[in-house]
Amino acid sequence: MSHSTNRWPVAGLLASWLFCPSAFAQSSFSPPVRTVEPKDDAAQEPGFVQFRQDVRRAAAECSETSLRRILAPTAPRNDFHMPPSRAFWRSWREDEDGLPGLCRILDRAIVLGGVSYGDRVYCVPYFSCAGGAPTELEELGVYLVGVVERVEIRARPSAMAAVVAHARYPVLIDCRGPYERCGRSLEDPPEGWWLARVDRTIGYVADAQVRHQLEPRLIVRRLPVGWRITAMEFYD
């Protein structure tokens, strides 16, 4: 099974009130259904701030050697999600995206804020962690969160297409989930784009501006050997 960003498994039914009309809203600049403001408990932790840079460098090099420097040391009984067990490396070597797919996950997650899980333990990104996003978002089931201040929803999946709506750090409904088609038939987005809804407006949003709720989160801890990623948690 691929770990590619645009192919995450879908979980949960959406509340009936979320279904939307079959056409673009008359008022294209309507407010978002929800917002999630950025949060970063780790911003004042010098060691963690340095570790972010180490992760990005390792992801750019994207070799098993570079990645081992940022992952927790091998420990007895490590399961798949506790790197770097043998199963962990084998899975990524066999995945169609290979190590580049793993490096992309690490880089995308680490640049966003983290939520404190206790003494020098952080979960990233902030909205994938307990305490990072409002609990009522759980009812949405399949959503995207804006990770830039101005998220632009466009008429077509192109940076040159007209902007039909924009919002500050919005929560958007993923229209491609099996339980939520947003009430109209539109072309599947190409790589790098999502088909999504904000309030009653449907359009395309660039992957660089949002993050899917089902993308994996990372647990980062301060170990005796230094800061390390100790777990990569996927959603069922």
3-state secondary structure of 101: helix
Say which CATH architecture domain 14-38+136-212 belongs to. Answer: Roll (2.30)
Return the pLDDT at 22.
32
3-state secondary structure of 70: coil
Return the pLDDT at 126.
92
Positions of the chain with pLDDT under 70: 1-33, 74-83, 136-141, 177-181, 183-187, 235-236
Instruction: Count CB atoms within 10 A of the CB of residue 19.
Output: 14
Residues of the chain with CATH 2.30.30.40: 14-38+136-212
Quick one: CA torsion of 187, 105, 212, 178, rounded to 10 degrees? 60
Please list the helix, strand and coil fractions of the chain in percent, rounded to the nearest 5, in that order.
25, 25, 50
The C-alpha atoms of residue 109 and residue 185 are separated, in whole angstroms, by: 31
Strand partners, 167: 151
Regarding pTM above 0.85, the answer is no
**Rg value, the chain, Cα:** 18
Return the pLDDT at 235.
67
